[in-house]
Amino acid sequence: MTCRLDQILYRKKKSLLERILLSPLFLLSLPYGWAVRTRTFFYSLGLLKTRRLSRPVISVGNITVGGTGKTPLVMALSEGLLERGIPTAILSRGYRGKKGSGPLVTDGRRVLLSPEESGDEPFLMAQALKGIPILVGKDRFKNGRMAFQQFQVRGLLLDDGFQHLPLHRDLNILLIDSQIGFGDGHLLPRGIMREPLSHLRRTDLFLVTKAEDPEACQSLESILREIHPSAPIFHSHYEPAGLIRPDGKVEPLHLLKGTKVLALSAIANPVYFSLLLRKCGAEVAIEIIFPDHHLYTAQDLTSILEKVKKVNWIVTTEKDMVKLKKLPLAPLPLLSLRIEMKIWEEEEFYKKVMEVFEL
């Protein structure tokens, strides 16, 4: 999937020409939808088994492809629960991690796997979080038991767990990007929906992300209340928290104020990333956008180097920095933007989450 196609799919409204060009993908979405509905139905009947662990499991997931903010929420949630006296471990599938490595990315003190072994996002979490074990692998039931045996944790957080039906969860948190919503409502590969909208009923609570103004999300919330009126709806946004050099040194945000930057990213919503840079006082003079989860090459650096003279800084995301650090970066004035997820209704949100530990 090219970056251009990504941009088209994420848009809620498409031109007649775009709809015509996408029509072959609609035909492919029909068997995909049948398979998704059949799988979910079999789990609901018990024909496919769901296994239960001995302590609470909280899933953080979405119903669309792309960056709704699952990993930032898992990080914020793990720290928020720890502050409230509830230690947890994180279970991740691990995107593009190498097979053959052990499941333990970090024991909460040391990072034990490389980005290539664990995947970029688990490695990023392992670097940022202290006192929180992280395990990767397809068999999350097995890794969950391992976490309970080796660590004094009271529960588990599933990163990107909404579709992981083999493991019972005590709380399903579903994230929805306020700017993208559900696209135009079509299933993959014609649209961005991983499951039909009716499957929102599996959710216990909704978190609308990138909600700079919660009152501006009313049209999206009306859809959620129509499908699942009993699930509470919360809101979150991102706040820039610092700038990180490739060697790990932290710089203050005011370093960007009044400067020209090149925004470099391979994420689902690069527009929002540029918005955050402007929030720091930078002028986004150039944007270089790669497809989500792009693996950077030396050739990519060459094309970036040609534009360096026009800007003061190249700023990327922390997730992208993990991949870029594998390349020779010495000539580049490169920084990554650290962000933190802030929940508008924080106390009410945690009160709801902590109910699963009181059962």
**Whether pLDDT at 96 is above 80:** no
**Counting every residue, how long is the chain?**
359
Residue 274 to residue 238: CA distance in whole angstroms: 12
Question: Same domain, yes or no, for 224 and 248?
Answer: no
pLDDT of residue 204: 98
Smallest Cα–Cα separation from 73: which of 87, 84, 86, 62?
62
Residues 336 and 190 occupy one common structural domain = no
Question: Mean pLDDT over all residues of the chain?
Answer: 93
Q: How confident is the model at residue 37 (pLDDT cuts 50, 70, 90)?
A: very high
Query: What is the residue whose two structure tokens read 């670097």?
Result: 127
Region of poorest pLDDT, from 5-14, 46-55, 159-168: 5-14
In a domain, 114, yes or no: yes
- Look at residues 313, 260, 256 and name the one whose alpha carbon lies nearest to residue 279: 256
Amino acid identity for residue 141 in this structure: F
Examine the domain organization and report whether 190 and 263 are in the same domain: no
For the chain, how many structural domains are there in total? 2
Question: For 164, left (φ over 0), alpha (ψ -120 to 50), or beta?
Answer: beta
The pLDDT assigned to 241 comes to 95
Local confidence band at 334 (pLDDT 50, 70, 90 cut-offs): very high
Q: Are residues 154 and 78 in the same domain?
A: yes
> Which of 299, 342, 334, 300 shows the shortest CA–CA distance to 318?
334
Radius of gyration of the chain (CA): 20
Strands 104-106 and 88-92: what pairing?
unpaired
The verdict on residue 27 lying in a domain is: no
Q: pLDDT band for position 90 (50/70/90)?
A: very high
Report pLDDT digits (tens) over 219-271: 999 999 999 999 999 999 999 999 999 999 999 999 999 999 999 999 888 88
pLDDT in tens, 180-203: 899 999 999 999 999 999 999 999
pLDDT at 359: 66
Q: Are residues 117 and 229 both part of a single domain?
A: yes
Burial class of residue 90 in the structure, from the number of CB atoms within 10 Å of its CB (0-12 exposed, 13-18 middle, 19+ buried): buried
DSSP labels, 242-272: EEE-TTS-EE-GGGGTT-EEEEEE-SS-HHH
90 occurs within a structural domain: yes
CATH number at residue 248: 3.40.50
Q: Which domain holds residue 275?
A: 239-341
pLDDT tens-digit profile of 259-276? 999 999 998 888 899 999
Could you give the CA distance from residue 310 to residue 303 in angstroms, rounded to a whole number? 13
